[in-house]
Amino acid sequence: MKREMNSKERVLAAFAHQEPDRVPVDYACNPGIDRRLKQHFGLKENDDEGLLQALGVDFRYVYGPPYVGPKLHEDVPGRQVDMWGIRTRWIEHESGGYWDYCDFPLKDATLAEIEAWPLPSPDDFDYAQFVEQCKQFQGYCVVVGGQDIPDVINSTGFLRTMEQTLIDMATENPVFFRYVERRIEVLYEIFNRALEAVRGNADMFYMGEDLGTQRGPTISLKMYRKILRPWHERFANLARHYGLPVMIHSCGSSSWAFEDFIEMGIDAVDTLQPEAKDMAPAYLKERFGDRLAFHGCISTAGPVAFGTVEDVVKNVRETLEIMMPGGGYALAPTHQLQDNSPTENVVAMYEAARTYGWY
């Protein structure tokens, strides 16, 4: 029997294509299911760390240094407005609710308006607090960054609408390019300073770009290489400069871009919706398994949400049998676990990982 590893060792071994003691496990959730899981384990509503420990989660996420600068955008009644000026409104549904993007204040912006749009300064972030947050989780795999770095399509679409953003890319609209350039210059400098400050206290860099629908690519490979890849490569290179492996998040059918990810030096891909085109675990493992690590595969639109406990256990066991050999896999939900997922199904998912995930 293999020596029992701590979480940091387990994840780094798996992502280096070595077989750890057991498969690493991760967690992401919506508020409703998170609250019910805490009740199930007898935890207080704010005990996030207690829930991660109860589920055996090996990852800890520290997005980046908190913003401590001046307020950049005016409040809007009935909306949340972030430091980029992105607005969201609360939408109720039968099993919970979520903050949905709205208003799209830069939809019809001119180049001059883009130049004048307030963006945060890299000087206005607390890098010391960021380091302290990372130090809390030594022994776990500390992941810094997030799905919105650089996330060009979504982050621009939240301000200009998705339709306008895709039109911008097709027509090479200078308004689009100037906004993205300004935002990326800010993000790059923030994380250049952050990764320098956190040397030795972080284990992985996380970035993202949603590239697929359920049926195929959102954009062509040619467009990806011309417009998005240079920005992605810049952040991947930054992480490697600081000695960190890179995981990229991408929803939907995204395996068409994996060869480019590999060329850029990206180590792992997150989400891996098995129902999307060319995203089945067996396809991914056979085609890319010796060159990419995988994080995800347990669909939040599959048995966890709509099946029985037995269906969930079967799905987890089958996924592990395909993805575990040779390392290179961390079990995780494809997206945040949704509020329509029965509590017992989610508990069964993590219990099955503990039962069948040993090497």
pLDDT confidence tier of residue 85, bands split at 50, 70 and 90: very high
Antiparallel, parallel or unpaired: β 268-271 and 246-250: parallel
Is the residue at 2 inside a domain?
no
Which stretch of 32-36, 91-95, 145-149, 219-223 has the lowest confidence by average pLDDT? Answer: 91-95
Is the residue at 185 inside a domain?
yes
Kindly report the CATH number assigned to the domain that includes residue 289: 3.20.20.210
Is the residue at 101 inside a domain?
no
Q: Specify whether the CB–CB gap between 26 and 60 falls below 8 A.
A: no
What mean pLDDT comes out for the span 97-116? 96
pLDDT confidence tier of residue 93, bands split at 50, 70 and 90: confident
**Strands lying side by side in the sheet with 87-93:** 80-81, 87-93, 96-102
pLDDT confidence tier of residue 97, bands split at 50, 70 and 90: confident
Whether the per-residue pLDDT at 322 is higher than 90: the answer is: yes
Percentage of residues in the chain having pLDDT higher than 90: 97
pLDDT confidence tier of residue 58, bands split at 50, 70 and 90: very high
pLDDT confidence tier of residue 71, bands split at 50, 70 and 90: very high
Tally of domains in the chain: 1
Crossing angle of helices 309-323 and 343-356, in 10° steps, is 40
Is the residue at 12 inside a domain?
yes
DSSP reduced 3-state for 190: helix
Whether the per-residue pLDDT at 190 is higher than 70: the answer is: yes
* pLDDT tens string 341-354: 999 999 999 999 99
Range of the domain at 140: 7-70+117-356
Cβ-based neighbour number of residue 39 at 10 Å: 12
* pLDDT tens string 137-189: 999 999 999 999 999 999 999 999 999 999 999 999 999 999 999 999 999 99
The CA-based dihedral angle spanning residues 342, 344, 347, 349, taken in that order and rounded to the nearest 10 degrees:
-70
Q: Specify whether the CB–CB gap between 101 and 162 falls below 8 A.
A: no
Tokens for 186, please give them: 């800010």
pLDDT confidence tier of residue 95, bands split at 50, 70 and 90: confident
pLDDT the model gives residue 69:
98
Residue 293 burial (10 A CB sphere; 0-12, 13-18, 19+):
buried
Is the residue at 133 inside a domain?
yes
What mean pLDDT comes out for the span 51-62? 98
Whether the per-residue pLDDT at 1 is higher than 80: the answer is: no
pLDDT the model gives residue 219:
98
Sign, CA dihedral 209-138-42-304, equals positive
pLDDT confidence tier of residue 220, bands split at 50, 70 and 90: very high
Q: How long is the chain?
A: 359
Whether the per-residue pLDDT at 273 is higher than 90: the answer is: yes
